Amino acid sequence: MLKTAGLFVATAMAEIVGCYLPWLWLKQGGSAWLLLPAAASLVAFVWLLTLHPAAAGRVYAAYGGVYVAVAMVWLWLVDGLRPTAWEWAGVAVCLCGMAIIALAPRPV
């Protein structure tokens, strides 16, 4: 379970970095060279999604909850904006939904 959670976090980080770097280029006047590591990060994101053992649709659905949580931590640590209690409540709701999807009993 811990390995899967770590894989979800690594997947989310790869996606966020892959999207953040082009954002820096387009919105903050960063170098176009940022697109190279961004592309590599998005390739890593796709590859990491394939390492999850569950069915693809279930992985994508469960991953969404982890992505929201990692994005809020990113907001705090990288953007320097402390998430509000409402945002943390939203994260909790997303993680509960993710847990329902990921931990639900499955027919044999």
- Look at residue 40 in the predicted model and tell me its pLDDT: 98
pLDDT at 108 over 80: no
pTM beyond 0.85, yes or no: no
- Those residues whose C-beta lies under 8 Å from the C-beta of residue 66, and which sit 6 or more positions away, are 5, 8, 9, 11, 12, 95, 98
On whether residue 24 sits in a domain, the answer given is: yes
Rounded CA-CA distance 49/66 in Å is: 13
pLDDT at 92 over 80: yes
On whether residue 108 sits in a domain, the answer given is: no
Q: What are the counts of helices (DSSP H) followed by strands (DSSP E) for the chain? A: 4, 0
On whether residue 11 sits in a domain, the answer given is: yes
Structural contact between residues 69 and 93, judged by C-beta atoms closer than 8 angstroms:
no
On whether residue 93 sits in a domain, the answer given is: yes
Structural domain boundaries, residue 61: 2-103
pLDDT at 33 over 80: yes
Lowest average pLDDT, out of 9-18, 54-63, 64-73, 95-104, goes to 54-63
- Look at residue 106 in the predicted model and tell me its pLDDT: 83
DSSP, res 54: S
Count structural domains, the chain.
Answer: 1
On whether residue 60 sits in a domain, the answer given is: yes
The token duo for 27 is: 């919105």
